């Protein structure tokens, strides 16, 4: 596990330090600010001098064209699971609040504006539960948010406060309906939704959105139909073929949301891996009756690095956004590994170059094992809390994600960019205020040079990432 890196004051200092740095650079570079994270130094989202380096000039150029624009970005975020909530509650209140601020505060943190939570329990819950466990409750008289009140809801409220209230957009996803709605009469081990309960399950979504708003003052910005609809898991899961998901949306869930006045809630199909993105898109978005209820698609990274699948879907359904809704490094081994941070950036760049409009990480915080998880399905997280020592570790993943989330604002657009150095991975955006953001990552073990626009030759350290902001 990585040792604790940085502090809240580190990020606050970065804001003021960047201005001071800019004053000392050459006039051609004075419109830029730069931030660096690198394996071999202590830089972690650290402001650095935005100036050209001396010595041999770069033979390759990194260029961008703000006039050539692609998708509009929705934002960045992470999942507020019961496991994350429980881990954070082991910390003293002040340290818990600091972790949440470092994620969600737009000025002091890395500026998360999206969050995802689970409807009923998921694998990253302390145990299995649903919001209505009374079999045959067709009218949902026993529906209640009570199972969420001990752990999940307080964390959502804390994140909303740190982000500035409704600035945080919440996406909610079910892993399984209650056991009594399933063909296998249990929430785990696959199974499917029983046909006679399809209308009830649709109303369950409506009840959830209403209760979150009316009882908790938490608006639900988006819903996904089903987490990983083609994954038969030993934990909470529910199987849908692409056609079953389409029919549930057009015959039940979509109409139920419209009847309840919830047509503004962003409903997403799929919420699963790239390898099945196109078949689900064709089933749901290719059917006008289903597509009218769908805002877009949710995407995971666990199978396939065929990033271009998103471009192929966008070409066919250009009015339906694709939002990345879950990804993590599985297995609970190599907690805090540097390669995990690099992997986040590589995945984000690959998706963003192919029309994906935003990124939601999986658990924001886990314990030293990569849990708790009620079925032992451990994984890494950007922030790890040792629940024995109460040590808080901000791993490389936290900073690599922050190189995007802190600087690429909601409403930014991806712009055309090219890089002649094949050892660098790059992408560029234009923020709503016109400021250009360029992210440059070097996954090699040697420094890499490239000429950046008006700045001149820059040198990105080995196993490092930089974000350059060209200020207006």
Query: What are the catalytic residues?
Result: 228, 326
Write out the H or E segment, with its range, that includes residue 162: helix 152-163
By CB atoms closer than 10 A (0-12, 13-18, 19+), residue 311 is middle
Q: How far apart are CA 280 and CA 270, in angstroms?
A: 6
> What are the b/e assignments for 85-120, b being 16+ CB within 10 Å?
bbbbeebeeeebbbbbbbbbbeebbbbbbbbbbbbb
Q: Cα separation of 150 and 131, whole Å?
A: 13
Burial of 80 (C-beta count, 10 Å sphere; 0-12/13-18/19+): buried
**How many angstroms from the chain centroid is the CA of residue 330?**
16
d(CA 277, CA 445): 34
Distances (CA, A) of 199 to 95, 138, 143, 186, 250: 44, 9, 15, 19, 11
Residues in Cβ contact with 95 at an 8 Å cutoff, skipping those fewer than 6 apart: 390, 392
Query: Hey, what are 295's tokens?
Result: 């805002």
What secondary structure does DSSP assign to 34-87, as a single string? EEEEETTSS-SSEEE------SSPPSSEEEEEEEEEEEEP-EEEEE--HHHHHH
Sheet strands (E) in 73-178:
75-79, 114-119, 169-174
Q: At what angle do helices 396-405 and 338-352 cross, to 10 degrees?
A: 30
Burial class (CB in 10 A: 0-12, 13-18, 19+), 140: middle
Element holding 220 (H helix, E strand): none
Give me the phi and psi of 400, to 5 degrees please: -65, -45
CB 15, CB 44: distance < 8 Å: no
Q: Collapsing DSSP states into helix, strand and coil, what is residue 390?
A: coil
Specify burial of residue 459 (Cβ count, 10 A radius: 0-12, 13-18, 19+): middle
Per DSSP, the chain holds a count of helices (H) and strands (E) of 13, 20
């Amino acid at each position: 596990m990585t040792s604790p890196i940085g502090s809240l004051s580190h990020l606050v200092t970065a804001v003021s330090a960047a201005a001071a740095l800019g004053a000392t650079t050459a006039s051609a570079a004075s419109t830029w600010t730069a931030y660096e994270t690198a394996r071999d130094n202590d830089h972690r989202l650290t402001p650095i001098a935005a100036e050209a380096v001396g010595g041999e000039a770069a033979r390759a150029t990194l260029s961008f064209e703000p006039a050539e624009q692609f998708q509009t970005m929705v934002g960045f975020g992470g999942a507020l699971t019961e496991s994350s909530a429980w881990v954070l509650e082991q910390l003293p209140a002040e340290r818990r609040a600091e972790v949440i601020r470092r994620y969600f505060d737009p000025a002091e943190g890395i500026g998360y504006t999206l969050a995802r939570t689970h409807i009923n329990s998921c694998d990253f819950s302390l145990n299995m539960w649903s919001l209505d466990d009374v079999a045959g409750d067709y009218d949902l008289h026993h529906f209640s948010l009570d199972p969420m009140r001990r752990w999940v809801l307080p964390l959502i409220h804390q994140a909303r406060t740190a982000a500035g209230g409704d600035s945080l957009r919440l996406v909610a996803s079910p892993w399984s309906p209650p056991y009594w709605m399933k063909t296998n009469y249990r929430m785990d081990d696959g199974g499917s939704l029983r046909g006679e309960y399809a209308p009830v399950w649709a109303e369950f979504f409506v009840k959830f959105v209403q209760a979150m708003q009316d009882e908790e003052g938490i608006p639900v910005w988006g819903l996904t139909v089903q987490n990983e609809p083609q994954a038969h898991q030993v934990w909470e899961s529910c199987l849908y073929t692409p056609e079953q998901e389409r029919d549930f949306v057009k015959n039940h869930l979509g109409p139920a949301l419209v009847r309840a006045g919830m047509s503004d809630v962003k409903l997403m199909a799929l919420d699963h891996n790239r390898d099945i993105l196109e078949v689900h898109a064709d089933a749901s978005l290719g059917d006008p009756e289903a597509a009218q209820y769908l805002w877009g698609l949710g995407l995971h990274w666990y199978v396939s690095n065929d990033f271009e699948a998103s471009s192929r879907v966008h070409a066919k359904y250009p009015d339906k956004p694709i939002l990345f809704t879950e990804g993590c490094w599985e297995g609970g081994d190599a907690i805090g590994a540097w390669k995990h941070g690099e992997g986040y950036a590589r995945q984000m760049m690959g998706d963003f170059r192919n029309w994906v409009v935003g990124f939601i990480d999986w658990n924001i915080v886990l314990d030293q094992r990569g849990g708790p998880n009620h079925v032992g399905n451990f994984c890494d997280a950007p922030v790890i809390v040792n629940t024995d020592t109460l040590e808080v570790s901000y791993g490389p993943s936290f900073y690599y994600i922050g190189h995007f989330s802190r600087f690429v604002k909601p409403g930014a657009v991806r712009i055309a960019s090219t890089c002649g150095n094949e050892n660098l991975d790059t992408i560029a955006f234009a923020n709503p205020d016109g400021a250009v953001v360029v992210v440059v990552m070097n996954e090699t073990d040697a420094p890499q040079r490239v000429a950046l626009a008006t700045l001149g030759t820059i040198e990105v350290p080995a196993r490092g990432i930089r974000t350059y902001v060209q200020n207006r």
